[in-house]
Copies of this chain bind each other. A is one copy, B any other.
């Protein structure tokens, strides 16, 4: 079965829309990629070693893929997902690949199938659709490629035309890989993002050891709330020095509420003594969002808020395999009341930027677009995670644009751990935006000139400007 990627893929079947979409897409498809938020391991680019094999390149790190296989009764062990107790899992990449290939049909209609089609077809030049029958042949083709210098991470980074790549890093991180990249002759922009969840979320089971790691890196004991703030401020400064332009906050809920210093200290001491309850942790989270905004006004780091995921919903999987195994499930999320204190205090400041994401699409038109369409500091992050998909992006544009306008949005984020999927994800986003704009042109809501200008804004200018890149 041939799998030449159709040049009009993802565009409307309507000829008028498709023709305009094609023109718009042509004008943006080769713009550099700016990836202001993601989870690529910086070691990949500092070490610049060959990827090991197709299974570990595509499957073992991609929870989008193995969660779907798991949902259909395939054991994670048979896909080579390592278990926390170190017991044996499948280690033969060819067997993992074969199992994946035989179940590849499960991804029909999902964004993974579109991303993989791009990665296989465009990045690796594979001409056939993956099946159980051709699995080993394609394995060989990919293996040959990834052994070559053209497929070293830095070579791919250059080929993908990435202008900036932001990783996501804990405050205790030494950023040694970023340092190494900065000092290398390669000289491409790989920057960190300051994500303090591990030390701000008192309900995190590893909170204490995260604090210990932070103590180690700042060089003093964090035995009080004020020392904790000091440590965060120092680390923010260090991250900024290392190129960071943003922070990220993956909170359970977007609740914001400022505590007094005494209240904050009391909770912090409870946490140090292992006595903080869940309600303390939630209050402290709410408070720390306020403090992070305050620090952002000082240091200029752009603040990102990613709320509403119930992490590790399945304890059976969490205990055996650890976090990020496809069992984070979205929750209903409320922004109008929860963000009020933050926006009331800091939202009128146009020098501050707070980018809000959601997994609850009902809030696009009801809460997020009206908030972003009013408060100067607030901007809307793109369709996130489960909604970083064809239909998900279309719903985002249709529900957010009319109230927030285009200029209170911030372009695309790939948010990926899978390095090779970066150009695939940006290509999908560019196609969806091109098609959306083409529809507006064909309905005479925009002129073609306006659409062409907007396409560049949505792809390149807005992300660069908002993230200060």
Contact = CB atoms under 8 A, between A and B. Distances in A.
A178 B171 CA distance: 66
Given A366-B359, A366-B362, A403-B386, A374 B17 contact: no
A401 interface: yes
A336 B344 contact: no
A260 interface: no
Given A370-B386, A373-B67, A445 B329 contact: no
Contacts of A399: 391
A469 B107 CA distance: 25
Contact of A108 (B105, B314, B450): B450
Interface string A331-374: 11010110010011001101000000001111001110111111
Contact of A445 (B10, B343, B369, B371): B10
Nearest to A349: B73
A446 interface: yes
A67 to B, nearest CB: 5
A270 interface: no
Nearest to A350: B73
Most buried by B among A73, A109, A331, A404: A109
A113 B407 CA distance: 14
A442 B435 CA distance: 14
A330 B445 contact: no
A387 interface: yes
A445 B113 contact: yes
A16 interface: yes
Nearest to A449: B1
Contacts of A374: 67, 70-71, 313-314, 326-327, 329
B361 A340 contact: no
Given A67-B374, A367-B329, A391 B387 contact: no
A144 interface: no
A300 interface: no
- State the number of copies, please: 3
Contacts of A389: 402-403
A334 B337 CA distance: 16
Interface string A426-469: 00000000000001101111110110001000000000000000
Contacts of A405: 68, 71, 106-110
B407 A402 contact: no
A11 interface: yes
B336 A331 contact: yes
Given A67-B374, A73-B376, A407-B72, A401 B348 contact: no
A398 interface: yes
A411 interface: no
B337 A365 contact: no
Nearest to A369: B386
A109 B409 CA distance: 13
A111 interface: yes
Given A108-B406, A391-B399, 20 more contacts: A6-B444, A13-B442, A14-B14, A67-B373, A71-B374, A72-B408, A73-B376, A105-B407, A114-B445, A310-B337, A313-B343, A314-B348, A315-B344, A316-B344, A316-B348, A331-B367, A332-B362, A360-B366, A365-B387, A386-B403
Interface of A: 1, 5-6, 8-14, 16-17, 67-68, 70-73, 105-111, 113-114, 129, 310, 313-317, 326-332, 334, 336-337, 340, 343-344, 347-348, 350, 359-362, 365-367, 369-376, 378, 386-387, 389-392, 398-399, 401-408, 439-440, 442-447, 449-450, 454
24 contacts: A1-B447, A6-B444, A9-B445, A68-B405, A71-B374, A71-B376, A73-B350, A106-B405, A108-B450, A108-B454, A109-B401, A109-B405, A110-B405, A113-B445, A313-B344, A314-B344, A314-B347, A327-B374, A329-B374, A330-B367, A330-B370, A360-B362, A362-B366, A391-B399
